[in-house]
Structure 1
Amino acid sequence: MTTSYSPEFIRAMPKADLHLHLDGSLRPSGLIEMAKRSNIELPSYSVEGLRELVFKDNYQNLGEYLNGFQYTCAVLRDLENLEQAAYELGIDNQEEGVNYIEVRFAPQLLMDPSAGVDFDRVMHATNNGLKRAKDEYNSSKAVQQGDKPEFEYGLINCAMRMFGKKGFSPYYTQLFQLMRESESKQVIKTAAMELVRASVRLRDEEGMPIVGLDIAGQEMGYPAHEFKEVYEYAHQNFLLKTVHAGEAYGAESIFEALTQCYADRLGHGYSLFSPDMIEDQSITDKQGYTERLASFIADRRIAVEVCLTSNMQTNPSIGSIKNHNFGKMLDHRLATVICTDNRLVSNTTVSKEYELALNNFDVPLKRLKDMVAYGFKKNFFPGNYVEKREYAKRTLNYFDRVAMAYNLTD
């Protein structure tokens, strides 16, 4: 029998979001305000209009899902807007009981060298907004008295698997112009290497809480192994790694993320249990390959960042939520962390994602606590390991207190 959890309990329990794109998670009202301030044209200047025309509950395909990012990225190239968006994202998570977030985005999508908007300024604006939200929350009476755990965050910088010669961002357009004699894939890899080197520098020289590297964008045609050198640099400089893998491509992309990019976590990982999506002709026993890979991931406790609503929207063929491979992840005892992906684009919150999971899959309280724990134990915490363990312990003790208050027991 499926254990029942109230929305009030889900909202009250401590939560973490480890797969959270800044440019996909603006407040709709904030986007409108920023667009007006920066003279960015939107299809509508009402929340209802944006929900109807751009940020929908259901999408026909991945292209429609990604359509809204042209507007969010446009407003975020203004540093004032960027800081506001980061601040509001912190506040919105705090208000629904999320104590730890890892905010990821592609700084190079927001950079405009000709306007003086470089990597450092983009990162500082983002960090300033999140830090302000953190400081306000942690100075509250409830946190100061130990009644609630603190709010913490880290930054994950995304390199892009692909971008075109024009239109993706001023930075990418100028890079193609500077490297006009190079092949496109070489330009893309150069940008990724510049990103990881700059991330390590800013972390080490200024203490910026840049905790991880990610690679995002179209998997098909841009396999993870092409960015092996980029991930090796991160690996050798103690920058943790996550990889968008198995979102829209077969399990072999997950294998590459683990073996070529030293992935500490997996973004999405949906296709792990879809052997029909495997295209590598050398893999003849697709089901056996899937089982061995799943066992390896489970044994190594490599956490999977699960984004249910996003997967349903970008893969309409899934149909019912009951068909989502999350059920198979649970059956195979994988370490799963419930995440939002894009709060605005998917019209969701961490609490909504937990409700979707817990209302459709059997997750006893002990297993739920394990899932919550993975968010605090498998994160890329900006402090040292001892500090991370102590923080995780405080949040899990708080989980027990909340569960008791709602009369939930193992």
Structure 2
Amino acid sequence: MSQTRYSAEFLKAMPKADLHLHLDGSLRPAGLIDMAKRSQIELPSYSVEGLYELVFKESYANLGDYLNGFQYTCAVLRDMENLEQAAYELALDNLAEGVNYIEVRFAPQLMMDLARGIDFDTVMHAANNGLARAKREYNQTPEVVAGDKPPFEYGLINCAMRMFGAKGFSPYYTELFQTLRDHEPKQVIKIAAMEMIRASIRLRDEEGLPIVGLDIAGQEMGYPAHDFKEVYEYAHQNFLLKTVHAGEAYGAESIFEALTKCYADRLGHGYSLFSPEMIQDPAIDNKAEYAQKLASFIADRRIAIEVCITSNLQTNPAIGSVANHNFKHMYANRLATVICTDNRLVSRTTVTREYELALSAVDVPLKRLKDMVAYGFKKNFFAGDYVQKRAYAKQVLEYFDRIVERHNIL
């Protein structure tokens, strides 16, 4: 247990960033109900309590159980009014708990429906409009204008899907499989990913949308990162930063592939880095040594890990409790860790709550807590240039010091 005590009020007040935040997993439950009624989407319950009991639980049996709720959130987000509302409300919910910077990620092709005129550009503008409205409103408040509080900033991370089927994932994916029916399924998946990244860079460069990064999401096992090497190379060559879901449900070799095949600037989850028993590559004889060398390599290069404690506990019940979570090993090995939520609705959590969990497992003195906060602003994929990013991080960390003083933290 942590010996250094920080109050919930302090953790809520201190500036924070969330760099691993899925839009389709982070709707307000009441908002989901309103959207479903408006779009005539059937839900298992039309009360918040009912949704918490039946879908968005405190604990899940397995990953499949955890992912069950996304069928409802993705369905409502194919309505562009709903998508804009969800993005707007997500920003407000973060601002309400002192989160000044977010990188919102989702798979645009899950929302696309060309038969209804909902193409890639339409989806991206809807999501951006909601976030931009929240930013505009917050940054005009007297405290921000006077410089007493740091402004709100955000970026968009677009996810390619590691896998999807010929039916049921989204209207776009279903139509793509029909159009490319003579291709192997993996070829169709890679074509979709390449289309997404080309469109992302076009919108960033031609229309100035703050699309700051690429991610691949979905099942790791059977769909390795190297399948998407060309997609990541294209992003790399066009100065788009890169994160990879790696080491969430597969061994450390998945993390190594993300770094060496996909030029990963950050790692999503990275949990298995300190679970050598999860390594399945028969060529790796000494698994513990491999994991330790890889951890040292990541620490030395200051590659940040997007840590999502509640999500890991829910998708992998065998972990048991936060005391058994590999965050303690990440901390002990001096890795750059950013405390994130993953899915605010599906995991029923907040950034403040994730900090409380992390600090209950590890004794973190104030200096290193400030380092952890700083990683969220120094390792983010800021939409401006590097000089602007440094100035913003400096402003946020000066605000952190003022919050420390205000709460008499020694």
TM-score tier, shorter chain, comes to over 0.9
Taking the aligned partners of 2:149 and 2:165, their CA distance within structure 1 comes to 46
Which residue does 2:115 correspond to in 1? 114
Letter in 1 for 2:27: L
Describe the SS at the equivalent of 1:247: coil
- What is the alpha-carbon root mean square deviation over aligned residues? 0.5
What does residue 204 of structure 2 align with? 203
Identify the residue that residue 329 of structure 2 maps to in structure 1.
328
Q: Deviations over 1:304-354 (max 9, x none)?
A: 000000000000000121000000000100000000000000000001101
**In 1, are the aligned partners of 2:108 and 2:120 still within 8 Å (CA)?**
yes
Per the alignment, residue 236 of structure 1 pairs with: 237
* Deviation, structure 1 residue 360: 2.2
CA shift for structure 1 position 361? 1.3
Cα distance in 1 for residues equivalent to 2:198 and 2:174: 20
The corresponding residue for 1:167 is 168
Aligned to 1:383: 384
Q: How far, CA to CA, are the matches of 1:289 and 1:364 in structure 2?
A: 30
Partner of 1:272: 273
CA contact (8 A) 2:212 2:381 kept: yes
Matched with 1:354 is: 355
Deviations 1:205-250 (A, max 9, x none): 0000000000000000000001000000000000000000000000
**After the TM superposition, which segments of 4 or more aligned residues of structure 1 sit over 4 Å from their partners?**
none
Tell me, in whole angstroms, the C-alpha distance in 2 between the residues paired with 1:196 and 1:178.
Answer: 20
Partner of 1:296: 297
State the distance in 1 between where 2:406 and 2:334 align: 28
| Aligned-partner SS, 2:243 | strand
CA distance in 1, matches of 2:7, 2:322: 19
Distance in 1 separating the partners of 2:208 and 2:168? 33
Q: CA deviation at 1:359?
A: 1.9
Name 2:408's counterpart in structure 1.
407
Aligned equivalent of 2:72:
71
Kindly indicate whether residue 124 of structure 2 is the aligned counterpart of residue 123 of structure 1.
yes
Q: Distance in 2 between matches of 1:350 and 1:291?
A: 29
Matched, 1:284 2:282: no
Number of equivalent positions? 409
1: distance between equivalents of 2:150 and 2:322? 32
Name the residue aligned to 2:33: 32
Question: Which residue does 2:263 correspond to in 1?
Answer: 262
Q: TM-score, length-normalised on structure 1?
A: 0.99
Gaps of at least 5 residues in structure 1 are none
- 1:352-396 alpha-carbon deviations (Å, 9 max, x no partner): 101111122111110100000000000000000000000000000
Corresponding residue for residue 55 of structure 1: 56
Is the 8 Å Cα contact of residues 247 and 254 (structure 2) preserved in structure 1? yes
SS for the counterpart of 1:2 is coil
> CA–CA distance in 2 between the matches of 1:25 and 1:190?
28
| Alpha-carbon distance between aligned partners in 2 of 1:378 and 1:259, rounded to the nearest angstrom | 19
Read off the aligned partner of 1:34 and give its amino acid letter: M
SS for the counterpart of 2:292 is helix
> 2:93 — aligned with what?
92
